[in-house]
Amino acid sequence: MSEFKDMSESSSASGKLDGASSVVIINYGAGNIKSIQFAFKRLGVDAVLSNNPEVIKAADKVIFPGVGEASSAMKMLKETGLDTLIPRLKQPVLGICLGMQLLCLSSEEGNTKGLGVFQTEVKRFSNDVKVPQMGWNVIKDLKSDLFKGIKENEYMYLVHSYYAEHCNETIAKTDYGLNYASALQHNNFYGVQFHPEKSGIQGQKILENFLKL
């Protein structure tokens, strides 16, 4: 079982392909990040898993993943010093799912503070809808180069119990009992609530767009 882990982590020494940008996936012990790495592999890019600040800082593109519970994920970020490193990154950063939520001001999940990049708060869905939201829902009002070539009301795969409230950094909206921010952008920071790595060809296109930013 552990050999699988080792295999992927050594899949590339530098993460660079000919002429392609280097991608680092921040590895802080939060859930299933293999799928993201595989999604980049399908795009011909060897993404590196790392929690080393120097490696992260040197990358052309950074992926901030996350699956699991917000307050324990924040705890892990603090223990490794990544909580201060991440908000200072200058290259394009893409937070996915919990990664996006942790970039917000705070989360009701475990009542934790976030990294404060996105000026919005993360709240729990009410029990008027089934929680977690699990499955394919549409994204609309798309406003970013991240969604170049993606049509309005495209389906994306989502699994989450908490959502980010709208703010002027909202670049995609989704309805689930209420209308919330399914993607956010602040300068070089991007966040998506859905899983582009699991959202078929359209999701793949979003990752491709991110690589071109």
144 makes contact with other proteins (CB under 8 A): no
Residue 112 or 199 with smaller CB distance to other proteins: 199
35 makes contact with other proteins (CB under 8 A): yes
170-176 and 178-186: which strand pairing? antiparallel
Given 69, 154, 186, 195, the catalytic residue: 195
Q: How far is the CB of 67 from other proteins (least distance, A)?
A: 6
Annotated catalytic, 69? no
- CB-based contact 113:208 (threshold 8 Å): no
Own/partner long-range contacts of 105-113 (Cβ < 8 Å, ≥24 apart): 107/70, 107/71, 107/162, 108/162, 109/69, 109/70, 109/71, 109/161, 109/162, 110/69, 110/70, 110/71, 110/72, 110/74, 111/71, 112/70, 112/71, 112/74, 113/74
200 makes contact with other proteins (CB under 8 A): yes
Annotated catalytic, 186? no
What is the C-alpha to C-alpha distance for residues 144 and 173, in angstroms, rounded to an integer?
Answer: 12
21 makes contact with other proteins (CB under 8 A): no
Convert residues 117-136 into a mask of x (bound to other proteins by CB under 8 A) and - (unbound). Answer: ----------x--xxxxxxx
Annotated catalytic, 79? no
Q: How far is the CB of 66 from other proteins (least distance, A)?
A: 10
Q: How far is the CB of 31 from other proteins (least distance, A)?
A: 7
With contacts defined by CB under 8 A, name the span among 48-56, 61-69, 76-84, 182-190 that binds other proteins.
61-69
179 makes contact with other proteins (CB under 8 A): no
43 makes contact with other proteins (CB under 8 A): no
Calculate the alpha carbon distances from 107 to 57, 71, 151 in Å: 26, 8, 30
Q: CA-based Rg of the chain, rounded to a whole angstrom?
A: 16
Secondary structure (3-state) at 122: strand
Which of 204, 203, 201 minimizes the C-alpha distance to 139?
203
203 makes contact with other proteins (CB under 8 A): yes
Q: Residue 148 gets which letter from DSSP?
A: T
* Binding footprint of other proteins on the chain (CB under 8 A): 1, 4-5, 31-32, 34-35, 38-39, 41-42, 67-69, 127, 130-138, 155, 157, 159-161, 175-176, 195, 197-201, 203-204
Q: Any idea which residues carry the catalytic annotation?
A: 97, 195, 197
